[in-house]
Amino acid sequence: MECNKIKIRNFRNIEEAEIEFDAGVNILAGDNAQGKTNLLEAISFTALGKSFRTTHEEEMIRFGAESAEISLDFTDSVRRQNITVRMMPGKRRHIEQNKVKVGRLSDIVGAFRTVLFCPEHLSLIKDGPSERRNYLDIAISQLYPVYLKSLQRYNQILKQRNQLIRRAEDDRKTFHDTVEFWSEQLAHEAAVIARYRVQYLKRAAGQIRACFAEMTDDREVPDAVYAGSSHGEPESYEDMEQTEKAYFKLLMSNHDREIGAGSTLWGIHKDDIDIQINGRSARAFASQGQQRSLALAMKLAEGEVCAEICGEKPVFLFDDVFSELDSSRRAYLSGKMKKRQVIITTCEPSGIAGGKMIRVENGKYF
């Protein structure tokens, strides 16, 4: 997969831009706050249907502009394609794929696939479970549209069930009359999602071990296994019927505790990845250097699994990560960039060998 060209109008500080990319390494070089990350955000937005920096769409529209537009040309294993998104404050997005109108951005997720690696991801191991769940959701959604649909249904059902819980103190009858229905629906989607996550991690774990071994000369052996809130063994989540029953039992087991907490206490929104080195928790026992190597290995594994399943490598987006890595990890990452399309932002281009240089200054690209 290759990102060929992007046209941008009134996105962040970019008034008007048209940038073409090489098939290999592309270096976006410039001082801070000039528009390097804005360009990566625009590219990523067409892949994921959301920003990795904000949940507020109006923040992405250039100040004073009536609309913003991103038009991305890319090539997959079959043909050249286009995704165009137009955003207008207070109005529904206008989305087209190959000049055909699309109802929602989530409908095009997986058409153009990327792996984003930014400094925040270096804390993937030590941060909370939500960051690791987000890692899984982004990776799997680009591979399996049915996963994204199930995740969207789950989040909507969870919202309804949480509203029911919060109203329970004042309306116990409605709660007891309907909580079983919402719990059944939630448990069903949880079983679908957990199965995809476990199967994905089984693939990714081998790639993580391979990348980590290359960085550390096989001194330690990492692993990544699913830690579900139903407390079953990772393999048990591949049995959807068993998983659904386990989550349903938990969701019906202690309503007073949930009412006290004001939210749903069990489900895939509470699950985690147990990342280990030599059988010990990496979050608790790994050094900062080991944690960074593991985070880098997880992001590279994301690309390798994508290539295995889809038959083509995704586009890698590296946002100022070279400045956050030591010399050995920079050298390793530089080696892994070969035979991949990579778009990198940096303030210090001299530290990156080869590639097409694109200078960035105040939202303009030269």
pLDDT band at 354 (very low <50, low <70, confident <90, very high): confident
Q: What is the dihedral of CA 131, 134, 136, 142, to 10 degrees?
A: -150
Find the mean pLDDT for residues 193-211. 96
> Tokens 């070969």 correspond to what residue?
338
pLDDT digits (tens, 9 = 90+) for 217-238: 878 899 999 999 887 788 899 9
pLDDT digits (tens, 9 = 90+) for 129-152: 999 999 999 999 999 999 999 999
**Please, what is the average pLDDT of the chain?**
94
Residues 6+ apart with CB under 8 A from 77: 1, 311, 312
**Nearest alpha-carbon partner for 154 in 76, 232, 260, 247:** 247
Determine the pLDDT at residue 286. Answer: 93
With a pLDDT cut of 90, the percent of the chain lying above it is 85
Determine the pLDDT at residue 350. Answer: 81
- CATH, domain 1-113+315-366, list 3.40.50.300, 3.40.640.10, 3.20.20.80, 3.40.50.2300: 3.40.50.300
CA angle 10, 53, 197 (to 5 degrees): 130
pTM as predicted = 0.94
pLDDT band at 90 (very low <50, low <70, confident <90, very high): confident
Question: Residue 28 forms beta bridges with which residues?
Answer: 345, 358
Burial 206-245 (b: 16+ CB within 10 A, else e): ebbbebbeebbeeebebbbbbbbbbebebebbeeeeebbe
> Tokens 């058409």 correspond to what residue?
111
257 C-beta neighbours (distance < 10 Å), count: 9
Report d(CA 279, CA 276) in Å as an integer.
5
> Tokens 């690209």 correspond to what residue?
365
Furthest CA-CA distance within the chain: 68
> May I ask the CATH class of domain 123-313?
mainly alpha
Domain spans in the chain, listed from the N-terminal domain onward: 1-113+315-366, 123-313
